[in-house]
Structure 1
Amino acid sequence: MKTAKALQAATGSIWSVNRKQIEAESELIMHLARPSDIAWLDRDHSILAFNERVFDWALRPEVPLLERLRYLCIVSSNLDEFFEVRVADHIEAARDGVEDDELSVQSLRRLADTAHTLVQRQYELYNKVLLPALLDQGIQIVSHGKRNAGQRRWVKEYFDREVRPLLTPVALDPAHPFPQVANKSLNFIVRLEGEDAFGNSNEIAIVKVPRVLPRFVRLPDSLSGGKGKIGVVSLSSMIRAHLAEMFIGRQVLEFFQFRVTRHSDLAVTEGEMQNLRTALRKGLQHRHFGKATRIEVSSGTSEPIAKLLLAEFNLPPEAMFRVEGPVNLVRLNQVVDLVGDNRPQLLFPRWIPQWPRSLKNSDNLFARIRQKDVVIHQPFESFDAVVEFLRQAVKDPDVLAIKQTVYRTGPDSVMMELLREAVRKGKEVTAVVELKARFDEEANINWAETLESIGVQVVYGIVGLKTHGKMLLVTRRETRGLKRYGHLSTGNYNPKTAKIYTDLSYLTANEALTADMDAVFTLLASQAQLPRLNRLLVAPFSLQSTMMAHIAGAQAAAQAGHSARIVVKTNALTDWKLAEALHRAAQEGVQVDLIIRAACVLPAVNETAKGGAIRIRSIVGRFLEHTRVFFFKYGEEEHLYLSSADWMNRNMTRRIELGWPVTDPSLRQRIIDECLVSYLMDDQDAWVLLENGTYRRLDGDNVGASAQQMLAHYYSAQPTTRQAPRSKNSVAKIIKSTTSKRK
């Protein structure tokens, strides 16, 4: 097996590339034409196809009812982000008459057709299946027309007390132009008849609904229709019922809900500013009012009103979505929260992450990590162990310094509170806070200001590059001198998402690896040249080139007649360079298996002339697949890496990302078995990409195994039986099956 140093030497001068070279090469890669001899898949359509796979969970009758509603909300939330991030360029290109391979009038129409079809299916499911099913369970979203007298009185009182004081209708005239409508906010457009108090006959009024108001309210049990029944009222139906009361002396002819989605990627020219935090803070103020990319309206919206809205927001007809129901399905999450405690049978059984087996009976985590590296498989094993690692570091008087990257921790973070406590105990604390983490900018700015105010050394990483790598480094005084302990992760330092995302945490006291981590922290703080590293791979310096070197090694082995295998598990594959390398390797006989959750631009290839293949699958289950694992086996060599990076151009060239090898045989085999083999054998939650570019769901085609269910069973088993779980979905059975097939 090649050593890390030998591999570094094979990749040339990648370790001394400076930032200007990186930026120049990144810009060049972004503008390189894709190889024309490969039938690339469209990235944006691939994202929408992923959401169709998520939507399939909402369709399944075997999924608990409230969870089906939650999946419906997840799809809507994903579509919101899609229109906030991916659609503005398509609209701009269509408006300017651009005819490009990816951006044109036709590309916008194709995306719009796919999105419209998905949204139509969502509302059909909501209206024809989920609402009747909820009613069968004694849960009713009570519309105005179905309320009895007692319910109407209660709604009237609630509206007058909680809602009406926060509403300010704006009638449009030369002195009152169309008001600024915030991104994804609920609004009503009203057409009026008659004159106002000043004798004007302005016809159109807008009612903006504040975000602070809950979108659903639970009726008192006494008004819910009987014992055990639950009644819920939507805010929009309350406003509709009492809208006329806000226009005294005038007649409301018609009114409709609408919701605008806006481009929300913050654009700041970092090279032309003195303070990134201040610039982002100002940018956040304008995020809610970026260029419109979509408008959702009630299905019955009249044509004149529809044209008025399209003209006001400068949108083409393709960007208007007429919906049969609430214009924001995401807010139905509140219904799940309101009724879930009373209907636990309509939810998934609660999953309680297990304390990591490798840390069992280890009160002193530092002593345990000194013995051997530790892998924690989340959410099957608990992220609390990582929090405990930091907590012990904070309380230990021999710990002198703590350094941590902060990407997505959430607004209420126990780990950030522990860093504050560490400062109070006199420890040196450094936090690398990534202010540009999309949609978490405000939380991260607030944490940066809070930490800085109490003496934490806060740095914001490298100008032009997001710091996406996740690492925590503890320096401790011990008998033989200072000793470092590190934590690396494929996921974020967010205890909430750690319960629903699959990720791997890696705890180590390896001197070479922790020294590399310290060197990266120095790079982020001082922007000094990165020295030659021992084991850690860092984007944009060495991660992509090392992956390319391994793909090339596999290709060379196949050309020489040796077996060659590549297995990659990541969230997305949109980096043309890596994708092309995989395609070329398969043409030469390499067996390529890709477990890609979401966007994938590389087409599947059943078998090449030289016996290679590209098999691509997507796992969509109860937990969000987030683990990044890269495996290469060719000739006598075998390499396994964990990483914070997806195989996307931005991760490889425009972010600080980390990858690290797993060399311990038992840990490596465990990761292969749990994160690769089990997912390649999954035929319950898996979708396979066909050569025609569409996905087909496997439905128990072979062994009826769900990797996530199997792992949950495996980790929840008692210590006496967890070594060999007997469920048909067990790790042991899948590994045995895979081994026999290989033989």
Structure 2
Amino acid sequence: MSKYEAHEYFLNRECTWLKFNERVLREAVVPSNPLLEQLNFIAIAASNLDEFFMIRVAGVKHLIESGIKHIDIAGLTPRQQFAAIQAMAHELVHTQYRYCRSILTRLRDKGLEFVKVQDLTAEQNRWLEDFFTREIYPVVTPMAVDSSHPFPFLASLNLNLAVLLRKRDGAVKTAILPVPSPVIRRIVKVPGTKNPKQYLFLEDILAAYAERFFLGCDILEAVPFRVTRDADLDIDEDVEDLLAEVEKSLKKRKKGAAVRLEISQSASRLIKEFLRKELQLEERDMYMIPGPLDCQVFFSFLSIESDETLRYVPFRPQPSFELAELGEPDLWKAVSARDIMVHHPYEKFETIEDFIHLAAMDPDVLAIKQTLYRVSSKSPIIAALATAAENGKQVTVLMEVKARFDEENNINMARKLEEAGCHVIYGIVGLKTHSKITLIVRREEDGIKRYVHLATGNYNGKTARIYTDIGILTANPLIGADASAFFNFLSGYSDPPEWNKLAVAPLNLRERIYEEIDQEIAWAKAGKKAVIQAKMNSLLDKSVIAKLYEASVAGVTIQLIIRGICVLRPGVKGISENIEVRSIVGRFLEHSRLFYFYNNGKEDVFISSADWMPRNLNERVELMVPIEYAPHKKRIKDILSLYLRDNTKAYHMEADGSYQYVSGKPADETVQAQEYLQHEAEQRRRRLHQEKEGPLYR
């Protein structure tokens, strides 16, 4: 182990993720965010935390139970990790509900109010009685718990009521009432209310009418609770039918061991202990909730009728300004003329969907090859690929059916493609295919030509409106040759070729990163300017971080923009004094992976599907793409520079793993990167619209 790999130079992965979710949650109290958007950040943080418990906390629990002597990158044992996680998670939940109460109070002043059943008027109670009788009572099945009725299996993340009741003979019993929120909307609008508009939570209605399910009993208590279970799939890839194995594992997901119990803080000690023991949890696995359980419910509240000032000003992604500048309506000729860069969500993802649809309909297109990791359930891309196959084209799709929480959707999409005649590959044994690439093979007058799309983000039109990502359309023959070799490597038995341009994980991407860092180290030692700028979602790979420490000691200036997990410690004397880490959290989720190396003025620029994490570099099929077209190199350099100047949505990381909100001095210009990129896209459209007319510019 090198001196740069000592435990004291690294932070715990799970704790740095919780720090990230703290930054997400902080957006719920940023005054410049409209109130309903603040509530949306509460929901995002809650959703993040659910997945964290289902996967990461469950994993740490497995390590503890296995007795394996595992030490993490920061030198912590599983028990030490678990103790740190629990302390931070409990504090995070406390903060979440403090923010939530504040937002709901302010929303009431804006005409949107959550009320209790006991606060309703006589007329409203008559309506509620009818609503309960018609809508709720028929679908709810009470579940007694006693010697003849064992504790029922409760699916992960489903909301329930724990009911304590007294029978006529004086015996105190327990029962479960499942809240039917999957089939009945959980936020119920009280009719006839105008200012403020009033809403009820479904679980509050069910609790108020609990006695209807237990006639002849006195209800002593009815409190909401929710169980979170281990959801990590254990997939045996050494099977004949991977698809069937994934489907079998999916059925087990909601039946994993309990890892967390959330319960209303009003619950009695009796109910809490009853549930804890039945679910085989420790005291510290219980979260006392001072408000509505499962704040993801507020995602649906964002679309209610309300004052428009309560939401962000609507933003419409703009057409590709580079295509508009070219003024070439024939997309094949446009991409042949020069590479086209598209920056989502500021520019339309429809540009990419149209590219694939055009290929599907073009009689001169012979083949389409594409990797898909996460696709939307109503994807125009899936429809275009199916049409292409039906039109007689050779269509090959590598559909990653092990994409976590998208497995079922991806299986359904894969079957649709197979039914249409596409050749579908379900991934490579031992690896997830996370690369984003499309290859179009077209017959033209001068022979066969390849067109390629490469990107940092998924082929998902839904997330492309809220994630920042960059894609390149190119007809570069060297990249086209690499793309063909890449798909042959994925689908057949081909040995990896000598790549012309692309770096491919797990084959040579790690080594290419090392080469670029070593290059900067050499320039720094020669007394030359040496700079590394890197933007990614997560930084976790120990060896890459050690290489960055080596570069820092050599005098390389390193500026990192890491949205989420970062176990590197910046600013450690003698180790990382030349490393700055910042995080941007805003309206859009920062997802693009961008890399810049000064290289003595030659400036090596890359986009990639891969974060610098062991799983990306060792266990996934990933791509890193050199950007050589000068205007695109400048665009990416400008984007990185903009993020490094952001003094509105940025956080600066300290050596201890804490983050400080970056705020400019009073005299400084306010810089908000995402807002700037929005305005820039809109201004480009207006300027081009004045200069030209036509379908490309509308």
* TM-score under structure 2 length normalisation: 0.94
Q: CA deviation at 1:682?
A: 0.9
Q: Distance in 1 between matches of 2:301 and 2:657?
A: 37
Q: Distance in 2 between matches of 1:550 and 1:456?
A: 39
Q: How does 1:176-187 map to 2 (within 5 A)?
A: 176-187=149-160
Equivalent residue for 2:119? Answer: 146
Q: CA deviation at 1:266?
A: 1.1
Equivalent residue for 2:187? Answer: 216
CA contact (8 A) 1:607 1:614 kept: no
Q: Distance in 2 between matches of 1:335 and 1:479?
A: 55
Equivalent residue for 1:693? Answer: 657
Equivalent residue for 1:467? Answer: 433
Question: Which residue of the other structure, out of 226, 234, 241, is the alignment partner of 2:201?
Answer: 234
Structure 2 SS opposite 1:203: strand
Equivalent residue for 1:156? Answer: 129
Cα distance per residue 1:450-496 (max 9 Å; x no partner)? 11122110001211100000111111110011111111110011111
CA contact (8 A) 2:4 2:550 kept: no
CA contact (8 A) 1:591 1:612 kept: no
Q: Distance in 2 between matches of 1:455 and 1:179?
A: 44
CA contact (8 A) 1:399 1:474 kept: yes
Question: Which residue of the other structure, out of 31, 46, 50, is the alignment partner of 1:76?
Answer: 46
Equivalent residue for 1:735? Answer: none
Q: Distance in 1 between matches of 2:293 and 2:684?
A: 47
Equivalent residue for 1:105? Answer: 79
Question: Which residue of the other structure, out of 517, 523, 542, is the alignment partner of 2:483?
Answer: 517
Equivalent residue for 2:692? Answer: none
Q: CA deviation at 1:95?
A: 5.3
Question: Which residue of the other structure, out of 428, 448, 451, is the alignment partner of 1:482?
Answer: 448
Equivalent residue for 1:369? Answer: 335
Q: How does 1:291-306 map to 2 (within 5 A)?
A: 291-306=257-272
Q: Distance in 2 between matches of 1:68 and 1:200?
A: 48
Q: CA deviation at 1:97?
A: 6.9
2:86 paired with 1:121 = no
Equivalent residue for 1:506? Answer: 472
Equivalent residue for 2:317? Answer: 353
Kindly provide the amino acid, as one letter, of the partner of residue 640 in structure 1. Answer: V
Q: CA deviation at 1:209?
A: 2.5
Kindly provide the amino acid, as one letter, of the partner of residue 218 in structure 1. Answer: K
Equivalent residue for 1:267? Answer: 234
2:628 paired with 1:658 = no
CA contact (8 A) 2:160 2:225 kept: yes
- Report the more deviating stretch, 81-90 or 45-54: 81-90
Q: How does 1:26-425 map to 2 (within 5 A)?
A: 35-36=5-6, 38-94=8-64, 100=71, 101-127=75-101, 129-194=102-167, 201=171, 203-210=173-180, 211-220=182-191, 222=192, 224=193, 226=194, 229-271=196-238, 273-337=239-303, 339=304, 341-360=305-324, 361-425=327-391
Q: Distance in 1 between matches of 2:40 and 2:53?
A: 20
- When residues 362 and 177 of structure 1 are mapped into structure 2, their CA distance, relative to the original with a 3 A threshold, is farther
CA contact (8 A) 1:403 1:429 kept: yes
Q: Distance in 2 between matches of 1:562 and 1:534?
A: 28
2:417 paired with 1:451 = yes
Q: CA deviation at 1:34?
A: 8.5
- When residues 283 and 409 of structure 1 are mapped into structure 2, their CA distance, relative to the original with a 3 A threshold, is same
- Report the more deviating stretch, 207-216 or 242-251: 207-216
Q: CA deviation at 1:620?
A: 0.6
CA contact (8 A) 1:487 1:508 kept: yes
2:526 paired with 1:560 = yes
Equivalent residue for 1:628? Answer: 593
* TM-score under structure 1 length normalisation: 0.88
Kindly provide the amino acid, as one letter, of the partner of residue 489 in structure 1. Answer: A
Equivalent residue for 2:694? Answer: none
CA contact (8 A) 2:264 2:288 kept: yes
Q: Distance in 2 between matches of 1:720 and 1:305?
A: 62
Cα distance per residue 1:58-86 (max 9 Å; x no partner)? 01122101000001100101111110111
Q: Distance in 2 between matches of 1:612 and 1:44?
A: 24
- Give me the identity figure in percent: 38
2:646 paired with 1:673 = no
Q: How does 1:565-584 map to 2 (within 5 A)?
A: 565-584=531-550
Structure 1 SS opposite 2:147: coil
Q: CA deviation at 1:174?
A: 3.0
Q: Distance in 1 between matches of 2:63 and 2:362?
A: 58
2:605 paired with 1:640 = yes
Q: CA deviation at 1:409?
A: 0.8
Structure 2 SS opposite 1:717: helix
Cα distance per residue 1:315-368 (max 9 Å; x no partner)? 21111100111111111222222x2x4322210000101101111133211110
Cα distance per residue 1:408-427 (max 9 Å; x no partner)? 11211111011111122221
2:509 paired with 1:543 = yes
CA contact (8 A) 1:353 1:380 kept: yes
CA contact (8 A) 1:192 1:204 kept: yes
Equivalent residue for 1:736? Answer: none
CA contact (8 A) 1:93 1:103 kept: no
Structure 2: which 5+ runs fail to align? Answer: 690-698
Q: CA deviation at 1:520?
A: 1.1
Cα distance per residue 1:390-439 (max 9 Å; x no partner)? 11111211111111111111211111011111122221111110000010
Cα distance per residue 1:139-183 (max 9 Å; x no partner)? 111211211122222222222212211111111123321111111
Kindly provide the amino acid, as one letter, of the partner of residue 466 in structure 1. Answer: K
Kindly provide the amino acid, as one letter, of the partner of residue 541 in structure 2. Answer: D
CA contact (8 A) 1:487 1:506 kept: yes
CA contact (8 A) 2:179 2:202 kept: no
2:556 paired with 1:586 = no
Kindly provide the amino acid, as one letter, of the partner of residue 192 in structure 1. Answer: L
Structure 1: which 5+ runs fail to align? Answer: 1-28, 724-743
Structure 1 SS opposite 2:209: helix
Count how many residue pairs are aligned between Structure 1 and Structure 2: 680
2:407 paired with 1:441 = yes
Q: CA deviation at 1:205?
A: 0.8
Structure 2 SS opposite 1:448: helix
Runs of 4+ in 1 over 6 A off after TM superposition: 96-99
Q: CA deviation at 1:513?
A: 0.3
Kindly provide the amino acid, as one letter, of the partner of residue 189 in structure 2. Answer: R
Q: Distance in 1 between matches of 2:506 and 2:485?
A: 15
Q: CA deviation at 1:91?
A: 2.8
Q: Distance in 1 between matches of 2:368 and 2:62?
A: 46
Q: Distance in 2 between matches of 1:306 and 1:106?
A: 26
CA contact (8 A) 1:606 1:615 kept: no
CA contact (8 A) 1:51 1:78 kept: yes
CA contact (8 A) 1:407 1:467 kept: yes
Kindly provide the amino acid, as one letter, of the partner of residue 583 in structure 1. Answer: Y
Structure 1 SS opposite 2:44: helix
Q: Distance in 1 between matches of 2:247 and 2:172?
A: 38
Q: CA deviation at 1:130?
A: 1.1
CA contact (8 A) 2:4 2:549 kept: no
Q: Distance in 2 between matches of 1:692 and 1:448?
A: 45
